[in-house]
Amino acid sequence: MTIQTRYAPLNAFLAYLQFEKRYSRHTTTSYANDLTQFFDFIETQYEGLAFQQITGTLVRTWLASMKEEEMSSKSLNRKISSLKSFFKYHIQQGALAKSPMETVISPKVNKRLPSFVTEQDMEQLFTNLAFAEGWKGFTEKLVIHVFYATGMRLSELIQCKETQVDLAKRIIKVIGKGNKERILPISPELASELQLYIQQKPTEAQGNPYLFVTENGKMLQPRAVYSFVKKYLGQVTTLQKKSPHILRHSFATHLMNNGADLNAVKELLGHSSLAATQVYTHNTIDQLKAVFAKAHPKA
């Protein structure tokens, strides 16, 4: 189903994202929200202005109005990115000669190192924590294991189907952002757990193609997964954020801390550029202390 707004130039762009670029509905909706907000501003302030008449000054005026409302630099940059994509599309379609975004400078974002659970805390989670009884506990523990062992995103794990798992080769094919496929290796231990899980699926799950299911045979829901991940992480870490994405951060950080190649981690995470992966090149304080103690003559 096509996402529609009351702005024809925007609708053409959204259809392009949805059906040619094959972006997810969630991503396309994010573009629609950002761009509708911009066009509402233009309509209110400059009634009757065609999108071909929009200038960099008008864009900066809109951005300044949101900055006055204390919108974060990260959010502003996302809106700038949406506008750049919109105008680039219309240049490619021949509706514009050049983009007004050429004179718009993105604000600097203070980069924060991603939070992660320590290796010791992850070990404690799997060895000492008591999970729920029966199928529910089996599912919850295995989901957390897969998150941490593969670095999958929440949407990727929920959408993962049994047919994407090759236990003989010990790999999982993941469909990531932009429908990009990547291959994730899994350990013999995880392969055995997944095999047991698939064999013991409840009869209610017959006909359900998804790898992980509830005790009623239904597909897992994002809110439920977020809830139980937060509950179990809360028992081993004091981190403020306790989400499935923290397990993805932990996966990448632990790989880097143990000497993994940056390009390999990039491929495993499904990042489109190294810049996104380089945030994981930070070292833990414990590691820095260990290096210092070993290498410095006065340590």
- Per-residue pLDDT tens over the stretch 150-171: 999 999 999 999 999 999 999 9
- 145 catalytic? Reply is no
- Judge if 130 and 83 occupy the same domain: no
Q: Domain range for residue 76?
A: 8-103
pLDDT tens-place string over residues 238-249: 999 899 999 999
Structural domains counted in the chain: 2
pLDDT tens-place string over residues 6-48: 999 999 999 999 999 988 888 999 999 999 999 999 999 998 8
pLDDT tens-place string over residues 206-261: 999 999 999 999 999 999 999 999 999 999 999 998 999 999 999 999 999 888 99
- Judge if 96 and 235 occupy the same domain: no
18-22, 133-137, 149-153, 199-203: lowest mean pLDDT where?
18-22
- 153 catalytic? Reply is yes
- Among residues 88, 170, 177, 218, which one is catalytic? 177
Q: What is the pTM of this model?
A: 0.66
Q: Which residue has the higher pLDDT, 108 or 160?
A: 160
Q: Is residue 244 part of a domain?
A: yes
pLDDT band at 88 (very low <50, low <70, confident <90, very high): very high
Residue 285 has pLDDT above 70, yes or no: no
- Among residues 248, 249, 254, 266, which one is catalytic? 248
Q: Is residue 129 part of a domain?
A: yes
- 271 catalytic? Reply is yes
Q: Is residue 114 part of a domain?
A: no
Q: What is the CATH number of the domain that holds 183?
A: 1.10.443.10
Which pLDDT does position 299 carry in this prediction? 60
- 245 catalytic? Reply is yes
Provide the percentage of residues in the chain whose pLDDT is more than 70: 95
Residue 139 has pLDDT above 70, yes or no: yes
- Judge if 30 and 169 occupy the same domain: no
- Judge if 62 and 195 occupy the same domain: no
- 254 catalytic? Reply is no
CA gyration radius, the chain: 23
Which pLDDT does position 287 carry in this prediction? 65
- 249 catalytic? Reply is no
- Among residues 153, 242, 254, 266, which one is catalytic? 153
CA 230 – CA 60 distance, rounded (Å): 40
- Judge if 141 and 247 occupy the same domain: yes
Which pLDDT does position 149 carry in this prediction? 97
165 forms bridges with which residues in the sheet? 172
Cβ atoms 28, 14 nearer than 8 A: yes
- The β-bridge relationship of strands 171-175 and 181-185 is antiparallel
- Among residues 90, 173, 245, 282, which one is catalytic? 245
Domain boundary among the residues 75, 103, 131 is at: 103
Residue 2 has pLDDT above 90, yes or no: no
In single-letter form, the type of residue at position 129 comes to L
> DSSP readout, 241-291?
--SHHHHHHHHHHHHHHTT--HHHHHHHHT-SSHHHHGGGG---HHHHHHH
Residue 59 has pLDDT above 70, yes or no: yes
CA 128 – CA 52 distance, rounded (Å): 62
Which pLDDT does position 47 carry in this prediction? 86
Which pLDDT does position 231 carry in this prediction? 96
